[in-house]
Structure 1
Amino acid sequence: MTDTLERKRTRSVEVEALAVILVLLVIFRESISGFIDGAALQTWITVFVSVLVQAVPFLVFGVLLSAVIAVFVPRSFWARALPRHPALAVPAASVAGVVLPGCECGAVPIAGSLIRRGVTPAAALAFLLAAPAINPIVLTATAVAFPGNPEMVLARGLASLVVAVLMGWLWLRLGKTEWIRLPHRHDEGASKGRAFWSACRHDVVHAGGFLVVGAAAAATINVVVPEAWLQTLAADPVLSVLALAVLAVLLSICSEADAFVAASLSQFSLTSRLVFLVVGPMVDLKLISMQAGVFGRGFAVRFAPATFVVAVLAAVGAGAVLL
């Protein structure tokens, strides 16, 4: 018992120290950059901090909403809100994700709370994919980024919704309960206020820690991959699709900002850029890291590759029909 308490205290101190370091990096990033001579290292720090600055507000929003769901929403609500048949609950949960103005950083802990509240994992995972991809903020940003191609908004929304529903149904068919290992919480029997803050701290530790790992990986990829490669890949239709799909995974850009990055890649076709927009909010480095932290590594190594394949195929299909 004493060892367990000691480990908890040590972990708490480590997390708080990490939080302080990250805050200091954000506040003093310009001063720190001035002491660094290497352009590559400066780029790494810029990308790392940018990913965190973009993602943290939505992570906080998701953690707070997750805690509200876990503590204040009764289990009976989900039984009434979603169809009882799992196959029908999947598209219903996907459509519910449309109205949530958040990104993948917030959707991960929310999906975890939904599963804890008794929602079938297939429906929660469909919500996880739909919420950051086709909410009103993301679609509006896409319309602003592509003012001359309004069909991009329809193509992105439709393809992303199809991916969310198909992945939910695929989980119903092939998924196994033991693949999802949600971390245990220790707030049973506590008051609602104490349980709320306990849930917030729990999700920040698990999701936030893996967000930092994903941001560091994305920054490293940004520095290592030469930009000249993009020019060569854009000339080949098949390679351009695969290149932007992989780039979306590596860059780990928040869904509210990825449309502007896609619009800047003007050397690529609209279909290739659509693939970038569909894959990014569903499969990227920080999202995979966060999924591993919230649902377990066994889940992430199965779910992420399957989502990647389905997202690429759906985006190419939507591009062929609508673009």
Structure 2
Amino acid sequence: MIESLVLMATAATAIVLEAAPFLLLGSLIGSLIEVLVPERTLLRVIPRSGVGQVATGIFAGMLLPTCECGIVPVVRRLLLKNVPPRVAIPYMMAAPVVNPVVLGSTLFAFQGDLTVVGLRVLLVIIPAAALGFALGNAGPRSVLRQRPIDLKRFGEAEAELVASHDAHEWGGGCGCDHGAQGAGGKARAVLFHTAAEFISMGRFLVFGAVVAAGFKAFLPPSVLGLFADNPLLAVGGLMLLAIALSICSEADAFVAASFASFPVSAKVAFMAIGPMVDLKLIPLFLTVFNRRVALALIVVPVVTVYVMAAVLAVGGG
């Protein structure tokens, strides 16, 4: 029991240390967008058609690669800049996989197998596109969860920081005159928003890391063996494992490749679902987005990836 608890603590610490830099990077990118990129500039480069918007979101990760550990704050900032959900949500789902770094790591982990890379991308872009089209013409801020923060839960300094941050987000004014600031003022504004975003989301990262580490520490290895011989159970088993382990998309291909006894369909499902839904992302979804959108962000990828991977498994893949 003591050994399991030590393993759990070690794994939780490792997840946080692995993910925190990406969350910080995501918060920084989101803050740079907030302070330096005018809303009209973003909106000018977005296509008018629904298909064009979804496609832009799906493939934007090739130009702005972001790990799933930091994607949520970036997308929240894009939505607050009135970027259509048909762009922002597909970007959030697809960018952690459809980017040069992850595609390269997947190709390397599977020894140059382009089929595996192609299947991974396919299993990600289909649910990403489905979510984008399902949102239709929803307003950018209508998909976000608008609830006040209980300042009693924070220290005095944190309370002031987060209160000002939320006032800025929901139109109350943060006192940061972005347009009139010089270089020094803009730099301070970037640091301000980065800190507020990181504080707001970091606690949910820690929570998800602890839960994921608990699965890793207390799930017997023999349980995985029960799933390997049945293709449909193998797909479901590795998907559940991907959700529980919460491995960053830059590294998950190497973990998937290590499951030598599992079929390719199960390995691809593992690599597809993890960057879209895992135990560190679920609390962020439920915190940032309204309940219906958050549930869709969880359910649609899980169902879609399982069905597609199961079809591949039945076909002998």
Quick check: TM above 0.5? yes
2:74 to 110, 119, 122: 110
2:63 aligned partner, one-letter code: V
Letter in 1 for 2:52: L
* Counterpart in the other structure of 2:4: 40
Deviation at 1:296, TM superposition (A): 4.6
8 Å CA contact retained: 1:132, 1:281: yes
Q: Aligned runs of 1:89-168 on 2, under 5 Å?
A: 89-147=53-111, 149-168=113-132
Per the alignment, in what secondary structure is the counterpart of residue 302 of structure 2?
helix
Letter in 1 for 2:174: E
8 Å Cα contact 1:155/1:318 also seen in 2:
no
SS of residue paired to 2:53: helix
The counterpart of 1:248, out of the listed 242, 259, 282, is 242
Aligned equivalent of 2:176, options 175, 190, 197: 190
In structure 2, relative to structure 1, the CA distance for the partners of 1:318 and 1:140 (3 Å cut) is: farther
Q: Provide the rounded CA distance (Å) in 2 between the counterparts of 1:85 and 1:94.
A: 14
2:231 is matched by which residue type in structure 1?
P
2:172 is the alignment partner of 1:208: no
Give the superposed CA RMSD: 2.4
Question: What CA distance in whole angstroms lies between the structure 2 residues aligned with 1:175 and 1:307?
Answer: 22
State the alpha-carbon separation in 2 of the partners of residues 300 and 107 from structure 1: 15
Counterpart check, 1:267 vs 2:261: yes
Structure 2 SS opposite 1:285: coil
Give, in angstroms, the shift of residue 162 of structure 1: 2.3
Following the alignment from structure 1 to structure 2, what is the Cα–Cα distance between the partners of residues 127 and 101?
A: 10
What residue number does 2:213 align with?
219
Opposite residue 217 of structure 1, the aligned amino acid is: V
SS of the residue 1:253 aligns to: coil
Structure of higher RCO (CA pairs closer than 8 Å, 6+ residues apart):
2
For structure 1, which segment, 146-155 or 227-236, has the greater mean C-alpha deviation from structure 2 after superposition? 146-155
Paired letter, 1:163 = P
Aligned partners of 1:180 and 1:298 also within 8 Å? no
Question: What SS does structure 1 have at the residue aligned with 2:201?
Answer: helix
1:306 maps to: 300
**Bigger share in helix:** 1
Mean alpha-carbon deviation: is it higher for 74-83 or for 166-175?
166-175
Q: Which runs of 5+ in 1 are unaligned?
A: 1-36
Give the C-alpha shift of residue 148 in structure 1. 5.8
Structure 1 match to 2:183: none
Q: 1:278 to 1:298 in 2, by over 3 A?
A: same
Distance in 1 between residues matched to 2:110 and 2:85, nearest whole Å: 35
CA displacement at 1:179 relative to structure 2: 4.7
Letter in 1 for 2:213: A
Amino acid at match of 2:135: W
Q: How many residues align?
A: 287
C-alpha distance in 1 between matches for 2:89 and 2:241: 23
CA contact (8 A) 1:252 1:285 kept: yes
Residue 60 of structure 1 aligns with which residue? 24
Q: Is the 8 A contact 2:231 2:314 kept in 1?
A: no
Counterpart CA distance in 1 for 2:72 and 2:62 is 15
Instruction: Please give the per-residue CA displacement for 1:168-217, whole angstroms capped at 9, x wherever unaligned.
Output: 11222899964521563445331443432221122112221111110011
**SS of the residue 2:64 aligns to:** coil
Task: Give 1:252's aligned amino acid.
Answer: S
1:316 Cα deviation after fit: 4.5
The residue type paired with residue 271 of structure 2 is: L
Which residue pairs with 1:294 in the alignment?
A: 288
Aligned to 1:21: none
Cα distance in structure 1, aligned partners of 2:126 and 2:137:
16
Q: Which amino acid aligns with 1:306?
A: V
1:288 counterpart letter in structure 2: I
3-state SS in 1 of match to 2:96: helix
**Once the two structures are superposed, what CA deviation does each residue of 1:258-308 show, in whole Å capped at 9, x if it has no partner?**
001101111110011000000000000101112223325554233211221
Quote the Cα distance in structure 2 between the aligned partners of 1:82 and 1:322.
41
Decide whether aligned partners of structure 1 residues 173 and 159 sit closer, same or farther in structure 2, where only a CA change above 3 A counts. farther
Structure 2 residues not aligned, in runs of 5+: 148-165, 179-185
